[in-house]
Structure 1
């Protein structure tokens, strides 16, 4: 994305995180914040107990890494003129402002395209740009997770309630990746055809897409699927090698061997139960699948004999597919994640080295090397000068309250 400039008028995580991905890929992303209030998410920056991290707030760094920041009071004509200068020299405009706000601030499609007819215009919304609720805002928990079907699907029937998202900005981050993909396709199309696109991505559509196979099954007469109920045992019906099993140290292992006949013999060797290969209930694939509950009980008893660490060592040679259930800190320290360069070191504004997870896409086997997020309006003067303003002009803009 080197040579591509993106101007971002957006707040919180959804949409800004798309800009972070594009910045990771080399784009020059200019983050526009209100000259006085800034991005509203700055007020939530102590999320997760990180308020004592010397000004380094993961809630801001995650969606704003590698960008440049400018403070503009877009309700003032002088600030809008500055934005127009940036738009004229940009390839992509991204926003998550609602329709009324876009019209009020004169940043809707017709306004932006009047300044730069070739710009790709990107709207990230909660519920889409059409329909009776197009003007409603939303966050990922109600729009992506709950309305998109994942909350219902992830909650086993025996739970008295509904599961929340596994972590902060869960749907926002996935939705932002969808936006980045859409921007990439739009840039490619413009290169091929000369025509700029309007790109729309909603949290609802992203949630439905994440849950698409379950929705497809339901729409075509199949069952409305939910998570397996732990009360009914660890395994998936018909296959003792698919399910969650508990280790001796009360950790969980997920087995996901979709071809039980292929993997059964090797698995039994690894759990020191080669005798099961001659067991009359499991000596053919058909019998194994028919008697899956009996087999799952035996597998569960075997897994419960050793710790997760012991199984991880034993399963290094296992042919079938499995994975440990890890918490967020364990994910960040996963040897495979780090070996592939998906944990980046970022130097914060105080010169302290921090770590951030990178986006999942790499090019030419080269890990992303993000920079830190901008402090509030950090690059205002730099950006103004880049687009032709001298010191006198910058001072007049500040006196007018148009920029910070």
Structure 2
């Protein structure tokens, strides 16, 4: 059961990351994904050369992480959906699919004949899934969004990170941050819809919005604001438990950071202060209760900060390895990609790119039956057009006719 969606066919008519990331997760889970790209331009994300100030690819390499992450293990077919000649191809793709997945806006879906009614007329049993900016209902149903707007800004995460006197809005920590979280959410919705159809025989219509995902991610403060009757006051957040110096972040001597989250300070006090080289505080009668620790928290925090600032990051990660209380090093992207726990659990997977060069990608976080993820590189633009058309029953003569008509690439 390590590939529980083996045999499920997903037709993806989408671009960028939000919805394609969902299909990438489903591919990790065993589904067969056919990605429809514009016959001339392909997925618009293929044209991005810089993201958040970083180069999106490297000269001389076919491997572009911005495309590989949300599109691994798929096949690509180039179709001009606006060309009437392509309709027979789309019809056959829809007819054989279990799920139709798109992030095209309602107006474009209508123009291209991709509405629920038109897709269901071809395949009444298909699960129809949209990834939207602001939901399928309401005043913004026809408005587009990227995760920076719908998820991050409007969805509450940006405001939650900004201190009261900030001069700059906090931006997302990584490209496609909300898109990847949203894609995982869509994948879960599709899996539920597949289970529901198997149980009841009824196919679902599924919509997941970036705004909805943003509100879900920030639901603690949203729910609290609704409960208290107004916006929450701006506070400087150094930890989840004010007054507890065994929570929060501390800087090392080489300007790296360590995060601690020991919400039961008396339980971990002696072990923690000993690890920090403050053995004289172990068993100190002044700090045996939560109340006394809170009363002296500012002074204690200073002691802890001075101790941690006396040694570099690498020394501390070695010293604290066996600490029983919850803590973590603040890792950068390179360190995360080599994290021993991620690697041991098969969440960093090696694939071979189109040039035959080994590359690595992050797998989705769900593991089935303790089995490794089976993953291949993302397709080149329209790489599988001929293969897919032949599978659909089109002979070489018809294939050439479709290409001459500009219906497929």
Residue 113 of structure 2: aligned partner: 106
Task: Provide, for residues 3-25 of structure 1, a one-character-per-residue CA deviation record: whole Å limited to 9, x for no partner.
Answer: 00000000111101111111111
Tell me the matched-pair count. Answer: 401
> Are the aligned partners of 1:228 and 1:236 in contact in 2 as well (CA < 8 Å)?
no
> Are the aligned partners of 1:239 and 1:288 in contact in 2 as well (CA < 8 Å)?
yes
Residue 342 of structure 1: aligned partner: 347
CA distance in 2, matches of 1:221, 1:99: 37
Q: TM-score, normalised by structure 1?
A: 0.96
Does residue 1:43 correspond to 2:47, yes or no? yes
Residue 65 of structure 2: aligned partner: 58
Could you tell me how far 1:180 is from its partner in structure 2?
Answer: 0.3
Task: Provide, for residues 342-376 of structure 1, a one-character-per-residue CA deviation record: whole Å limited to 9, x for no partner.
Answer: 11111111111111111111101112121111111
> Are the aligned partners of 1:31 and 1:68 in contact in 2 as well (CA < 8 Å)?
yes
Q: TM-score, normalised by structure 2?
A: 0.95
Task: Provide, for residues 103-137 of structure 1, a one-character-per-residue CA deviation record: whole Å limited to 9, x for no partner.
Answer: 00010111100100000000000111100111000
Task: Provide, for residues 232-278 of structure 1, a one-character-per-residue CA deviation record: whole Å limited to 9, x for no partner.
Answer: xx784221111010011111000111111211121112112122234
Residue 243 of structure 1: aligned partner: 248
CA distance in 2, matches of 1:263, 1:165: 34
Residue 89 of structure 2: aligned partner: 82
Does residue 1:205 correspond to 2:212, yes or no? yes
Q: CA RMSD in A?
A: 1.6
Any unmatched runs of 5+ in structure 1?
A: none
Residue 315 of structure 1: aligned partner: 320
Could you tell me how far 1:213 is from its partner in structure 2?
Answer: 1.1
Note closer, same or farther for the CA distance 1:341–1:294 as it changes in structure 2 (3 Å cut): same
Note closer, same or farther for the CA distance 1:225–1:79 as it changes in structure 2 (3 Å cut): farther
Residues 301-312 of structure 1 aligned to structure 2 (within 5 Å): 301-312=306-317
Residue 291 of structure 2: aligned partner: 286
Residue 280 of structure 2: aligned partner: 275
> Are the aligned partners of 1:158 and 1:229 in contact in 2 as well (CA < 8 Å)?
no
Does residue 1:27 correspond to 2:1, yes or no? no
Residues 90-129 of structure 1 aligned to structure 2 (within 5 Å): 90-129=97-136
Note closer, same or farther for the CA distance 1:194–1:115 as it changes in structure 2 (3 Å cut): same
CA distance in 1, matches of 2:97, 2:187: 16
CA distance in 1, matches of 2:263, 2:175: 31
